[in-house]
Amino acid sequence: MFSETKVRLFSVFFLLVFSFLLDGCGPPVPITPEPVKMPEKEQQVTFIYEDSFSEEEQAKLETWIRFTSDAAQKVLGEFPFDLYYHFHREDSAIQAVLFGHTARTDSINAAHFYVDPSYSLDDLKADWIAPHEISHLAIPKLGKTNLWFFEGFATYMSRQVMIETGVLKPAQTDSINLARIAAVRENFETTSLLPFVADSLIAAHQYPAVYWMGASFFDQADKRLQAAGKGPLVDVLKKFQECCHVTTMSIEEVIESFDKISGTFLFSELYTYYTTTPCNEILVTYKASTPIQ
């Protein structure tokens, strides 16, 4: 008779041999589970009221900003972060949206709007300030020394957003852009370089001149991309949101990303031209022949 201990040892030995025969002449091969794709995090939009607004006014403001934000991200690509929209009350203002600005940290991407809620929803949708401020969010904040580029980007792209919202038409937008860029040429009739001239104009509160000079950079980039068969600038921006947009980037890193996405050196070459060429040579192709609308 086998003792109970011997029976157990024999059973263990039998199981080991049986497992070895089933699995071949080596240890069992671990099974690697199929990778599971995690669902993408849905973008959250938060509305913050810095002043008192009625429920009806809040509903109107939220409808307006959702409409504009959705249009902007359809044009520029979905931003890879949550959004925070702040509303400030400006009663008896001269226009529906009096002012706007962005506020950004490592974890917060926000835009503030100073509005008169007595204006209609159509008045709010027709205004350019929300498309401008939301367009800013499509690239990282670049610092005061690059305002001509940062503000020029939002100025040019806001018009593309306004095409999407139906406020402007493509041909009309191009005409307006050309006329407004030509109108600021006189501010740059100097042999000094753009970074220094832009800083001087900003110090003198000549913001439109700097904004539209910057917009000319993106007007040129867009036209050159399309002439090279690389598609419109907005295609580059949509891919930028997917692959490359992080909170902190230098202007050189942004431009390098645009070059890689487009498969060109167009952006870096244009940036070098804008920053090393005397100002009076940059806008020579823009002529004030089209009335500003």
CB 149 within 8 A of CB 130: no
DSSP one-letter code for 137? T
Torsion of the alpha carbons at 173, 174, 180 and 184, rounded to the nearest 10:
150
Kind and range of the H or E run holding 83? strand 83-89
Q: Cα separation of 130 and 100, whole Å?
A: 7
State the pLDDT at residue 40: 62
Are 276 and 222 in the same domain? yes
Q: Cα separation of 268 and 145, whole Å?
A: 17
Neighbours of 9 (CB within 10 A): 12
Boundary-marking domain end, from 107, 137, 167 = 137
DSSP one-letter code for 85? E
Instruction: Going from the first residue of the chain to its last (293 residues), give the mean pLDDT of each consecutive group of 10, the final group possibly shorter.
Output: 43 38 39 40 94 98 98 98 98 96 92 98 98 98 91 98 96 93 96 96 96 98 97 97 94 97 98 97 81 48
Is residue 14, in this structure, part of any structural domain at all?
no
Are 84 and 177 in the same domain? no
Say whether 278 sits in a helix, a strand or coil.
Answer: strand
State the pLDDT at residue 11: 44
Q: Cα separation of 164 and 69, whole Å?
A: 11
Is residue 34, in this structure, part of any structural domain at all?
no
CA distances 76 to 72, 80, 109, 123, 213, Å, are 6, 12, 16, 23, 21
Say whether 118 sits in a helix, a strand or coil.
Answer: coil
Which tokens hold the place of 170?
A: 């493509």
Are 197 and 268 in the same domain? yes
Is residue 39, in this structure, part of any structural domain at all?
no
What is the sign of the dihedral through the CA atoms of 198, 203, 206 and 207?
positive
State the pLDDT at residue 145: 86
State the pLDDT at residue 41: 75
CB 87 within 8 A of CB 62: no
Is residue 9, in this structure, part of any structural domain at all?
no
State the pLDDT at residue 2: 43
Are 120 and 225 in the same domain? no
State the pLDDT at residue 227: 97
Boundary-marking domain end, from 120, 137, 154 = 137
Residue with tokens 């070098």: 272
Instruction: Write out the residue range of the structural domain in which residue 256 sits.
Output: 146-282
pTM here is: 0.84
